[in-house]
Homo-oligomer: A and B are copies of this chain.
């Protein structure tokens, strides 16, 4: 009875916290998986995660790979243990916020470049008549600069 309440609490924490983690652009399973690992004392194997979350091993494998690629979890070696062991990266805030902010900055730079390329092509056209679209394009490019600089600032303030 006591344990059951405790397990319920763990389950509730996973459910709530996973919702937050999803906001960092992780799929529901990736989010649950990360949170599960975060709450565990010891690194876990694919089979343990599969068992604990009630999902197929394949599903866990693909999800844990995404998490690993994004650097939210790390593979851990233990002598004598053949299976892959994964654990959640620490600390929470730095790990997620850095990743997230970088994604925004990279994306806004990339998009801005694409827009400036279009802008150059438009300038090469008949420059006589003033094109309203050029003004919009300026605004849109500035919008991307504002995004980049905002998230840049967020990254700096992060430790404050």
Contact = CB atoms under 8 A, between A and B. Distances in A.
A13 B111 contact: no
A13 B93 contact: no
A58 interface: no
Interface stretch (A45-53, A65-73, A76-84, A138-146): A138-146
A14 to B, nearest CB: 10
Interface string A26-55: 000000000000110100000000000000
A126 B111 CA distance: 55
Contacts of A2: 125-126
A97 B125 CA distance: 34
Contacts of A139: 92
Give the number of copies in the complex: 2
Given A2-B126, A17-B115, A133-B6, A158 B150 contact: yes
A63 interface: no
B39 A114 contact: no
A38 B41 CA distance: 51
A75 interface: no
Nearest to A157: B153
A132 B93 CA distance: 20
